[in-house]
Amino acid sequence: MSQPTDLPSFWSRLSLAFGAFFKTLGDAEFAARVRDDQIGPIAAPVAAPAPAPAPTPAPTPAPTAAPLRVATPDAALQLLSLLQREARLIDFANENITVYSDADIGAAARVVHEGCARVLREHFTIEPVRAELEGARLTLPEGFDAASVRLTGNVVGKAPFTGTLSHRGWRASKVSLPQLADKHDASIIAPAEVEL
Amino acid sequence: MSANFETANTARYAIGIDLGTTHSALSYVDLQASDGEKADQGVLPIPQLSGPGTVEALPLLPSFMYLPHPDELAQGELALPWTDGQAAPVVGEMARSRGAGTPIRLVSSAKSWLSHPGVDRRAAILPSDAPEEVDRVSPLAASTRYLEHIRNAWNAAHPEAPFDQQAVTVTIPASFDPVARELTAEAARDAGYHAPTLLEEPQAALYSWIQGSEGRWRKQVKAGDIVLVVDVGGGTSDFSLIAILEREGNLEPHRVAVGDHILLGGDNMDLALAHLVARKLQANGTQLDAWQMRALTYACRGAKEHLLADANATTWPIVVPSRGSKLIGGSIRTELTRDEVTAFITDGFFPRVEASARPAVRTRAGLTQLGLPYAQDAAVTRHLAAFLARQAGATAELEGFSGNVNPEHSFLHPTAVLFNGGVFKSDILARRVMDTINDWLYMEGSEPARMLEGADLDLAVARGAAYYGYARRGGGVRIRGGTARSYYVGVESSMPAIPGMEPPITALCVAPFGMEEGSELELPGQEFGLVVGEPVHFRFFGSTVRRQDRIGEVLEFWGPDELQELNEIQAELPFDARTPGDVVQVKLHALATEAGTLELIAVSREGQRWKVEFDVRATEQQ
């Protein structure tokens, strides 16, 4: 990575990313800002799914049957539950990482990374918004989709705009969250476990 | 069979179901959209519980069933899209993940139990280590639940084409004996399947390969080829030999031999690695509990797949997550090295052995626990060597091959190998098997065998089964061969009794090798007098090597490996037909059914027919 040294380190970014993730989930105003201003944490891999389902709870396209309701407000909780089950994300984010060595954190991060990747792979189809390589020069014609391309820097004049692609962007082309039973309480992200 | 013709006319789809030891899957061919070797095929995502109250559609249905405690789960949490809010049996992903924490309520490997001749397959015996209060299920019932779930999933997805009206094929290991085949067909019927057809898995794998090649298979194999199918699944290893004949200018695959039932698969390999890592951890003072052990097995599978896929990786980290919420502090980190994987998997399960190597057989201790009869030798290559040696003469009687049989060959020389099963996603393992076989061939002066490329290792069996349903309707190539065993009943020979010695028995051939589906043969000459209402038991034998025995032939002697004793058969004439105590003279008929099972029928002089039943209860091993 060719990052200038004054930028936050990986672990700080990870924790920033989780912070932003939960703030987006829990704080509607913050979520709205993320949506409008794009101050969202896009770079951290684990937090990537957050902007997609949380601010705009997309209706699940899965076929509905009588006893199963379409997951709408529950979708965010459902995603959290998946990320906890597969990636132990809530356990990880709620732990105070300052007391552990990078080796310990790294070991746990493997569980988190592998699980997050699995959740993303199994429940979303995520593809780059732009097919060009990062660093490539490209021209945006008049009437380009401002929602999928964000202009930064010297934004003046009229389209067509020519610039350098700094991030390819991500688009969730398909979301398939599990269907929920009618009485299922989605607020239980992970049940307590009691061994008998 | 009228039922088959009925579905033949109305079926829109040919459905293939892989009823696996660890996973099941459904594939289908749209008959209307298919033509010749271009079959329009799909895989049905199967909705299943992935957790309480959550339903996900996944391509595979784990073949597990969980028997929850009455207080464990709320009723509404177990509903499926087709149960109208009612609780359904817990099968699939949630059964597997729940069962990992509570194994005493988890039914697993039902398929292996269904083919276990030492237990009553209709008795509620699973899970075998469940405490008293758990309502156990029979191997037959568990298999029925999986098949039922798949049927319901199809009906939910295709209301316009009801399952019962489609042509359904269910796969079985080639090594299944007539009882296990019959029980699988029975489970399918119990699950509401209309007229299911059975297909051997290695054949299904070859069908899938033929279909996947889109006609190019004719360039990859030629007349005179002998294809060895090596299928190592999650729980079983299954071998078959398929010879390629040329008839009237067309290539025709003939299945000429099947292997023994070997309970040895990918799961054994993961478990072996997990125990290795657990011992390493123990040496460092870390003791794993049962829950962590299962997490470790899961992690080992991932590490194994990475190390076996990437020849340059030397180690792969393994993390056993903590059970509590302290993930960073509580997780255990270790690693698996290439040397360990090589020693335990490549050399442990696939050692480079001589062609003369044979699996080690330990004599079982006097009191064996009631469990699955797992293979005692873990080396797949040794089982393979034994299989090829036993089948050295398999093609001797086959047209176009008889000239090729060399009496100096100590084993049958395959010319091509087709792999199936997730284990062979690893190039290293596929290559190891190829190298081993080619060493054997080189030592006897034969050309190396080639590996048939392009097999779909996970879904080939389901896909091939669907394609078979299509091929049966005249749409594509069919594998011929008929039954892969000859069958015998034991007849006591008339000899004066010698104290302390069992009277010697002779074996009467009642069904010859290679009976084509739908054919029926009468046992000539012999008539049996059956007493109405009194069951008669016969000892029953099968042979995978005695191809030349004709029906009615009597064997006085046979080699130690030639005949295997199967479960007894039982003939009983019901009261409704005659007066109890009457003696009825019957002749025995053998019928290879269209469905892929073997039936023995007692036929009276007046033409009345009674089915001779296989005894599915434990045979007492003398």
β pairing state of A170-175 and A179-181: unpaired
pLDDT of residue B150: 97
pLDDT of amino acid B3: 44
- Determine the length of chain B: 622
Rounded Cα gap, residues A12 and B44, in angstroms = 44
Other beta carbons within 10 angstroms of residue B465's beta carbon come to 35
Three-state SS at A187:
coil
Mean pLDDT computed over B226-242: 93
Residues of A within an 8 Å Cβ radius of B: 62, 65-68, 78, 81, 85, 88, 90-92, 94-95, 97, 100, 103-105, 107-108, 110-112, 114, 176, 178-185, 193, 195
Q: Does the structure show a pLDDT above 80 at B471?
A: yes
Q: For residue A12, what pLDDT is reported?
A: 62
Residue B400 pLDDT: 74
Q: How would you classify the pairing of strands B167-172 and B197-200? A: parallel
- Read off the DSSP letter of residue B181: H
Q: Do A91 and B55 touch (CB under 8 A)?
A: no
Separation in Å, CA of B465 to nearest CA in chain A: 26
Are A78 and B54 inside 8 Å of each other by CB?
yes
**Are A181 and B76 a contacting pair at CB < 8 A?**
yes
Residue among A63, A70, A53 at smallest CA distance from A180: A70
CA of B511: how far to CAs of B5, B51, B536, B549, B608, in Å? 26, 49, 19, 9, 20
pLDDT at A54: 43
Q: List the beta bridge partners of residue B598.
A: B592
- Inter-chain contact B329–A104, Cβ cutoff 8 Å? yes
C-alpha–C-alpha distance, residues A158 and A180, integer Å? 48
* Whether A68 and B79 lie within 8 Å, measured CB to CB: yes
Beta bridge partners of B13: B30
What local confidence, expressed as pLDDT, does residue B604 receive? 86
- Both structure tokens of B513: 């090798």
Q: What is the mean pLDDT of chain B?
A: 87
Which value does ipTM take for this structure?
A: 0.74
- The string of DSSP codes covering B115-151 is T-TTS-TTS--BSTT--TTS--B-HHHHHHHHHHHHH
C-alpha span between B429 and B287 (Å, rounded): 32
The pLDDT of residue B35 is above 80: no
pTM of the model: 0.83
Cα torsion angle, A114, A119, A125, A127, sign: negative
pLDDT in tens, B320-334: 888 888 888 888 888
Q: Are B535 and B570 in contact (CB under 8 A)?
A: yes
Nearest CA in chain A to B52: A184
Chains A and B form CB pairs within 8 A to the count of 95
CB–CB of B291/B101 below 8 Å?
yes
| Contact check, Cβ <8 Å, A178/B323 | no
Closest CA to B94 of B138, B128, B47, B131: B47
Sketch out chain B's domains with CATH numbers: 2-199 (3.30.420.40), 216-262+367-459 (3.30.420.40), 266-349 (3.90.640.10), 486-614 (no CATH)
pLDDT tens-digit series, residues B292-313: 888 898 889 888 888 888 888 8
Give the pLDDT mean for B123-144.
92
Q: Cβ–Cβ of A184/B101 closer than 8 Å? A: no
Q: What does the pLDDT read at residue A55?
A: 44
Predicted confidence at residue A125, as pLDDT, reads 94
State yes or no: pLDDT of B213 exceeds 90.
Answer: no
pLDDT tens digits for range B482-502: 888 999 988 876 666 666 666
Question: Which residues neighbour A156 within 8 Å (Cβ) at sequence distance 6 or greater?
Answer: none
pLDDT at A1: 40
Q: For residue B1, name the pLDDT band (cuts at 50, 70, 90).
A: very low
The pLDDT value given to residue B534: 81
- pLDDT at position B567: 87
Give chain B positions within 8 Å (CB) of A66.
84-85
Q: What is the pLDDT of residue B294?
A: 84
Supply the DSSP string of A126-162, one letter for each residue.
EEES--SPTT-EEEEPTT--TTT----SS--S-SSEE
Q: How far apart are the C-alpha atoms of B274 and B297, rounded to whole Å?
A: 5
Q: What pLDDT score does A31 carry?
A: 59
Q: Which two tokens stand for residue A87?
A: 């990636």
Q: Interhelix angle for B290-309 vs B93-101, to 10°?
A: 130
Please report the DSSP string for A40-80 in residue order: ---SSGGGTTTTTTTTS-PPP-SPP-TTEE--STTHHHHHH
Res. B385: pLDDT tops 90 = yes
Tokens found for residue B217: 């298979």
pLDDT < 70: residue spans in chain A = 1-72
Which is nearest to B468 in space by CA: B6, B110, B13, B16? B16
Tell me the domain boundaries of chain A. Answer: 10-128+171-176
Is the confidence at residue B9, as pLDDT, over 50?
yes
* pLDDT for residue A104: 86
Q: For residue B562, is pLDDT > 80? A: yes
Q: Are A179 and B156 inside 8 Å of each other by CB?
A: no
Q: Kindly report which listed range (A29-33, B441-445, B509-513, B535-539) carries the lowest average pLDDT score.
A: A29-33
pLDDT at B403 over 70: no
Cβ atoms within 10 A of the Cβ of B132, count? Answer: 5
Q: How far apart are CA B246 and CA B243, in angstroms?
A: 10
Residue type for position B177? D
Higher-confidence residue of B252 and A73: namely B252
Do the chains contact at B50 and A65, CB–CB below 8 Å? Answer: no
Give B33's pLDDT tier (boundaries 50, 70, 90): confident
Give me the residue from A91, A184, A193 closest to B54, CB to CB: A184
Q: Please report which helix (H) or strand (E) contains residue B253, including its range.
A: strand B250-258
Q: Which 3 state secondary structure label does DSSP give B292?
A: helix
Distances (CA, A) of B441 to B233, B238, B256, B355: 26, 21, 20, 9
Least Cα separation, residue A91 to chain B (angstroms): 5
Angle in degrees, CA A99, A94, A40, rounded to 5 = 110
